[in-house]
Amino acid sequence: MEKLHHLIKAEQLTPSIVAELLTDAENFNQSFKAGVRNFENLKGVTVCSLFYEESTRTRFSFERAALLLGANVISTENAAKFSSAAKGESLEHTIKVISGAAQNHLGYADIIVLRHPENDAAERAARVSWVPIINAGSGSNEHPTQALLDAYTFQKLLGRLDHFTISFIGDLKFSRVVSSEAVLLSQCPGVKMFFVAPQGLEIRPELKSYLSQKGGEFEEASDIKAVVQDSDICYVVRVQKNRIKDSELLLTYQRNKDNFAVTDEVYKMSEQKGTFFCHPMPVDEEEQEIRQEIENLPRVKMLEQAGYGVPVRMAILAKVWQNQKI
Interface with ligand NCD (CB under 6 A): 57-58, 137, 143, 146, 176-177, 237-238, 280-281
Q: Which residue is nearest to ligand NCD (CB)?
A: 280
User: What minimum distance in Å lies between the beta carbon of 287 and ligand NCD?
Assistant: 12
User: What minimum distance in Å lies between the beta carbon of 280 and ligand NCD?
Assistant: 4
User: What minimum distance in Å lies between the beta carbon of 57 and ligand NCD?
Assistant: 5
Which of 46, 138 has the CB closer to ligand NCD?
Answer: 138
Which of 45, 317 has the CB closer to ligand NCD?
Answer: 317
User: What minimum distance in Å lies between the beta carbon of 75 and ligand NCD?
Assistant: 16
Which of 237, 294 has the CB closer to ligand NCD?
Answer: 237
User: What minimum distance in Å lies between the beta carbon of 143 and ligand NCD?
Assistant: 5
Which of 238, 319 has the CB closer to ligand NCD?
Answer: 238
Q: How far is CA 288 from CA 32, 80, 236, 296, in A?
A: 33, 29, 11, 13
Which of 116, 238 has the CB closer to ligand NCD?
Answer: 238
User: What minimum distance in Å lies between the beta carbon of 175 and ligand NCD?
Assistant: 6
Which of 107, 291 has the CB closer to ligand NCD?
Answer: 291
Which amino acids are annotated catalytic?
57-58, 87, 115, 143
Q: How far is CA 107 from CA 46, 48, 104, 111, 122, in A?
A: 10, 11, 6, 10, 18
User: What minimum distance in Å lies between the beta carbon of 137 and ligand NCD?
Assistant: 5
Q: How far apart are CA 222 and CA 41, in angstroms?
A: 47
Q: How far apart are CA 265 and CA 314, in angstroms?
A: 38
Which of 137, 311 has the CB closer to ligand NCD?
Answer: 137
- Closest by CA position to 196, among listed 217, 226, 162: 226
For residue 101, the tally of other CB atoms under 10 A from its CB is: 17
